[in-house]
Structure 1
C-alpha cells in the first residue's frame, strides 16, 4: 500500500511542478483534447492536488495510525476530496473571476465618450481621444452629422466605419437652450 501512496504523492507533485513550469507548452500540444470533458471541477490543478493529497495523507495515516488499509484509503480519499473542494473555492474560482483584459475592439467604441484633439472639418477627418482601462487611445474621427467640431469638444462615438470613428458633438445645457 505504501507504494501506491508514495506513487500518488510523487506523481501528483511532479505533475503539479511540470504543469506549472511547462503548462503553456503542454497546453498548446494537447489543445482541445479535454474540451469534451470540460467539467469545471476537473481542472489540472484540482486533480493534481487531489492525487498528491491522497498520497500524502495515505503515507501519514499508515505511518502514524494503527488503522488497516481500507480505513486509510477511505480517509485519504475523503481528505483529498475536502482539500480539492477547498482549493477550488478558495483559489481557482476567485482567480477565474479576477481575469481582466485591457484590450478592446472597435466594436466596443460606439457609445464611448471622447475629446477632440485635432479639429474635425465638415467633410474631413480629425482625431479624438477616448479614455480606456489601459489608458488613453487616439482614433481617427469624422463628424457623423457633417458638422465642424473644434478641439476640446466632448463627443460620443456613434459608429465605426473602416477604422474611422464617426462622432457627434455633445452639447451642454447652455448650447441646447440656445438651439431651442
Structure 2
C-alpha cells in the first residue's frame, strides 16, 4: 500500500516538474505527438486537477499510514476522499479562474461594422486613408475607403459601414460631443 501512495506522490511531482520546466519545449520537439494526453471532454477533466488529485492521494495516503491508527482500507478511502476534494478545489480555485483570465486581442473584421472611428489619414473620394478604431481595451488602425465616394478630412468622426479583408468602408457622421471624456474615449 505504501508503494502505491509513494508512486502516486512521486509521479505527480515529476509530472508537475516536467510540465512546468520542459512541457512547451517537449511539445514542440515532438510536434504534437503527446496531444492525445490532453482530455478534451468535460472541463473538469483538466490534467492539472487530475494529476493534482493523484499527487494529493499519494501524499495523504502516506501521511495517514504513518500518523494514524486507521486500517488499510480506511486509509485508502480517506486518502481517496481527500484527493477528490482537493482536485475539485484545485479546479475551481486555480484551473477555472486561469482559463477565464485568458485575454485575446484578436477581433473579427465583421465586428468592426457599426463602430465609430477617427480618421487619421485623410480619405480621398477614390482611394484609401486610415482610421483608428477602439476594439476591446485597445485600438486598431485600419485601412479605410469612403463608402459614399466623398472625401473625408483627417480628424473626422466616421462610422464603419462595411468591412472587407482589405479595408473598412466608412461614412462621415456628425455626432454631438457629450463631454471631453467622450472625445478621448471614442
- TM-score by structure 2 length? 0.84
Q: CA RMSD in A?
A: 2.1
Aligned to 1:12: 12
**Residues 1-180 of structure 1: pairs in structure 2 closer than 5 A:** 1-24=1-24, 25-26=26-27, 28-32=32-36, 34=38, 38-133=41-136, 135-172=138-175
Alpha-carbon contact 1:120-1:141 (below 8 Å) kept: yes
Relative to structure 2, which stretch is displaced further, 76-85 or 93-102? 93-102
Structure-2 separation of matches of 1:110 and 1:156: 8
Distance change (3 Å), C-alpha of 1:118 and 1:70: same
What displacement does 1:33 show?
A: 5.8
Deviations 1:118-160 (A, max 9, x none): 2112222221112334643222211111222111111111112
Residue ranges of structure 1 left out of the alignment (5+ in a row): 175-180
What displacement does 1:15 show?
A: 1.1
Give the paired residue count. Answer: 173
Alpha-carbon contact 2:109-2:164 (below 8 Å) kept: no
Structure-2 separation of matches of 1:170 and 1:19: 53
Secondary structure of the structure 2 residue equivalent to 1:29: coil
Deviations 1:27-65 (A, max 9, x none): 832235655x51211211011111110000000000001
What displacement does 1:21 show?
A: 2.2
Alpha-carbon contact 1:106-1:163 (below 8 Å) kept: no
Aligned to 2:181: none
What displacement does 1:173 show?
A: 5.2
Residue ranges of structure 2 left out of the alignment (5+ in a row): 178-186
Alpha-carbon contact 1:120-1:142 (below 8 Å) kept: yes
Alpha-carbon contact 1:125-1:142 (below 8 Å) kept: yes
Distance change (3 Å), C-alpha of 1:167 and 1:32: farther
Aligned to 2:183: none
